[in-house]
Amino acid sequence: MFSLKRVANAYFCGRNFTNYMSNRTFTMIKPDATQKGYTGAILDQIIKAGFTVKAMKWTRLTEAQAGLFYEVHKERPFYGELVAFMSSGPIVAAILEKENAVADFRKLIGATNPAQAEEGTIRKLYAASVGENAVHGSDSDENAAIEGDFFFSKLERF
């Protein structure tokens, strides 16, 4: 079976592809937010919160790519909906740097369900629902590295 981790390992020929320090995280501005014109405001909030952009691209996932990215959720009832949504329009993918990046970024974006997100968080401000929730943020240093490697070559990060 394919998994994001296995594909990353195969692609990087077993080398240690985790060339981040633990002060990096990975984010996507999701199709709902790009299509509603929130990209600039969200990036502004991220930068004002002290994150530095180390890599960034405007792109669109195929269904197969979205399926692979979220394959950890493939047994969940919302998986099909999630894959369809994440391939429904353009996204912005980025690697961000800041001390304590993973935890601080999760705090900045707020709870998965915007109804439960704290005031002022990105999801509270810009997300419409638990599915269409404006932004992704890695949940661990290891996943930040794997997810960044999914989108960016070494030449594309600084």
Contact 90, 54 (CB under 8 A): no
Site string for ligand GDP, 60-89 (x = CB under 6 A): ------------------x--xx-------
# chain residues binding ligand GDP, by CB under 6 A: 9
Contact 25, 101 (CB under 8 A): yes
Is residue 59 involved in binding ligand GDP (CB under 6 A)? no
Least Å distance, CB 43 to ligand GDP, is 18
- Smallest CA-to-CA distance from 28 within 103, 72, 93 is with 93
**Is-catalytic flag, 73?**
no
Contact 61, 87 (CB under 8 A): yes
DSSP class of residue 85?
A: H
Is residue 131 involved in binding ligand GDP (CB under 6 A)? yes
Is residue 25 involved in binding ligand GDP (CB under 6 A)? no
The tokens describing 46, both together, are 């991220």
**Residues at the contact surface with ligand GDP, assessed by CB under 6 A:** 78, 81-82, 112, 130-131, 133, 136, 139
